[in-house]
Amino acid sequence: MSVRVRFAPSPTGNVHIGNIRAAIFNWLFARHAEGRFLLRVEDTDRERSTPEAIRTLLECMAWLGLDYDEPETYQSRQTARHLALAETLLQRGLAYREAKGGGDECVVFRMPKEGRLEFIDLVKGRMRKQAADTQDFVIVRSNGTPVFHLANVADDIDMKITHVIRGDDHVENTFKHIELFRALGAPVPQYAHLPMIVNQQGKPYSKRDGAAFVGEFRDQGYLPEALFNFLLLLGWAPGDDREVLTREEMVALFTLDRCKSSAARFDLKKLVWMNGEYIRRLPRERFTEEFVRRVEAAGLATDGADLPGIIGQMQVRTKFFREIPDSCAYFFTEAYAFDPQGVEKRLKPAGVPETLEEVAAAYATLPAFTPDAAHAALNALAEARGSGLGALVHPVRVAVSGLTEGPGLFEMLALLGRDRVCARLRTVAARLRDHQL
RNA sequence: GCGCCCAUCGUCUAUCGGUUAGGACACAAGGUUUUCAUCCUUGGAAGCGGAGUUCGACUCUCCGUGGGCGCGCCA
């Protein structure tokens, strides 16, 4: 029997990372087993399930590369089917009508009253519970609408779902659902319950803890592959020391028995690191394309710049594309901004203007302006002055780039070119004297 | 309250009775130019407690403790 799994979110406008992780695990499980991954929109809450919300959901799926193998289905369209099944249950005496609280009658499903209920959870192992500890539950409201449990199980039956992989807040429901499958004469799927994602305090991760929705991560500049990989590592590990995996590796390696059953804390720092890893691994052309787009969007022109050289330095240090205009402006314009703290610390001390001019003079006479030559020249200067190299490196960096950090100074200088470097050093020296900085 | 589940460095995790308990993030120190966002090296850092089972337990069992989830005519 071939594997069929589904992701069954209720479209409430935003897709929570806990939810999308369930989608990721389902998708990987299906792809690994060469089975089918389906999407069922549980849109029975008509209030919140707006077309807009559904579109957002579909966008998030596409963004993460979670493609599904059959057209998505909508639970709200199956109401008649759900009610028919409830009717069957009623006729077989497996459910009964009851008027709770004096209102109209609702339909209640009968749970076993004795014995033990149990199932094997593919990640948590054997789960058991005394029947006496369960209760009958409503499957059709007195207003005539089906309740989640009925709708969920009915749709799983109709979609021939073989494995239900979902958050472990559903473990208790599973005892109910299994009885429903049996009562409806359908084969019971296998279950796998995934641990929750929690915050630094160990509480369920929510929007109060920062970005909690897929769309927010996208908007903040995270790459879908990075978020996907990071979320996968929350509760699953390949068994060896690999952490950054290609989609193919994930598919090949993913199995439910390697899933952990304890909650995982969401560690933003590691996600940031992961994002940097994915940016670094981007094909050079793709990084370049995005780089240029960002730079130009900031009103800067890249003509004349040594783009390949700049990219070579910047790709490995970029954690977010949005940082690019600010971190690289000095490569493309003379109107680059100065970091106030850098100016204060590196340019304001007495003697800096003279130092910058000395460096400019030394550089002007160099036969070739290469990183090594620029380095050697500064070394010679430092020695002549009896000062450390740092006394030259820092002011020069800030003068030339406006920043206190960036690529190796001499690589950066070579990339800028002798003319621009010397001009900037002199200009900054003059501005310092005129108190213009 | 009742039921169920969970428990390895600060964090994510490896280990499926025998390891100096490994890796990654983060942190610290050093080096890479007295820069840094890269790179290299090094370091600190863990089996919740108590009983058992066993020649031998992080690993198996039980009891505590702590945490989470569930107990809706929400999903």
A120 touches strand B (CB under 7 A): no
Smallest CA–C1' separation from A406: which nucleotide?
B36
**Among A201, A182, A36, A196, which residue's Cα sits nearest to residue A119?**
A182
- Identify the residue whose Cα has the smallest distance to the C1' of B70: A172
Q: Residue A201: its pLDDT value, please? A: 83
Instruction: Name the active-site residue from A100, A207, A270, A348.
Output: A207
What is the CA A216 to chain-centroid distance, rounded? Answer: 9
**Among A170, A204, A217, A213, which residue's Cα sits nearest to residue A189?**
A170
Query: Does the pLDDT at position A328 exceed 90?
Result: yes
H/E element holding A413?
A: helix A409-416
Residue A207 is among the residues annotated as catalytic for this protein: yes
Q: Which DSSP letter does residue A187 get?
A: P
Which residues numbered 239-258 in chain A sit less than 7 A from strand B, measured from CB? Answer: 239, 241, 243, 258
| Token pair of A25 as six digits | 């695990």
Which residues numbered 309-328 in chain A sit less than 7 A from strand B, measured from CB? Answer: 316-319, 323, 327
pLDDT tens-digit readout, A343-396: 988 999 888 999 999 999 999 999 989 999 999 999 999 888 887 888 899 999
The pTM for the full model equals 0.94
Query: Does the pLDDT at position A238 exceed 90?
Result: yes
pLDDT tens-digit readout, A120-157: 999 999 999 999 999 999 999 999 999 999 999 999 99
d(CA A401, CA A59): 39
Q: At what angle do helices A409-416 and A307-314 cross, to 10 degrees?
A: 160
Tokens 């969920």 -> residue: A152
Which residues numbered 280-309 in chain A sit less than 7 A from strand B, measured from CB? Answer: none
Contact between A374 and A363 under an 8 Å Cβ cutoff? The reply is: yes
**Among A144, A139, A137, A138, which residue's Cα sits nearest to residue A104?**
A144
pLDDT, average across residues A301-313:
91
Cα distances (angstroms) measured from residue A261 to each of A122, A235, A361, A383: 10, 7, 66, 62
A77 touches strand B (CB under 7 A): no
Between CA A288 and C1' B30 the distance (Å) reads: 35
Q: Which DSSP letter does residue A395 get?
A: H
Smallest CA–C1' separation from A313: which nucleotide?
B38
Q: Residue A384: its pLDDT value, please? A: 86
Contact between A253 and A245 under an 8 Å Cβ cutoff? The reply is: yes
Average pLDDT score over chain A: 93
pLDDT tens-digit readout, A103-119: 789 999 999 999 999 99
Contact between A220 and A211 under an 8 Å Cβ cutoff? The reply is: yes
> What pLDDT band is residue A89 in, cutting at 50, 70 and 90?
very high
Strand B bases near protein CB (under 7 Å) are 2-8, 10-15, 22-26, 33-39, 67-75
Which residues numbered 27-66 in chain A sit less than 7 A from strand B, measured from CB? Answer: 42, 44-45
Cβ neighbours around A192 below 10 Å, total: 24
Contact between A76 and A44 under an 8 Å Cβ cutoff? The reply is: yes
Region for residue A348 given its phi and psi (left: phi exceeds 0; alpha: psi -120 to 50; beta: otherwise): alpha
Higher confidence at residue A207 or residue A90? A90
Between CA A271 and C1' B44 the distance (Å) reads: 24
Question: The complex's ipTM?
Answer: 0.94
> What pLDDT band is residue A206 in, cutting at 50, 70 and 90?
confident
Contact between A40 and A77 under an 8 Å Cβ cutoff? The reply is: no
Query: Does the pLDDT at position A102 exceed 70?
Result: no
pLDDT tens-digit readout, A391-412: 899 999 999 999 998 999 999 9
% of chain A residues with pLDDT over 70 = 99
Q: Residue A101: its pLDDT value, please? A: 66
Smallest CA–C1' separation from A315: which nucleotide?
B38
pLDDT, average across residues A67-75:
97
- Identify the residue whose Cα has the smallest distance to the C1' of B37: A317
Residues 6+ apart with CB under 8 A from A66: A7, A20, A23, A24, A27, A37
A269 touches strand B (CB under 7 A): yes
Smallest CA–C1' separation from A172: which nucleotide?
B70
Which residues numbered 397-426 in chain A sit less than 7 A from strand B, measured from CB? Answer: 397, 403-411
Between CA A223 and C1' B36 the distance (Å) reads: 24
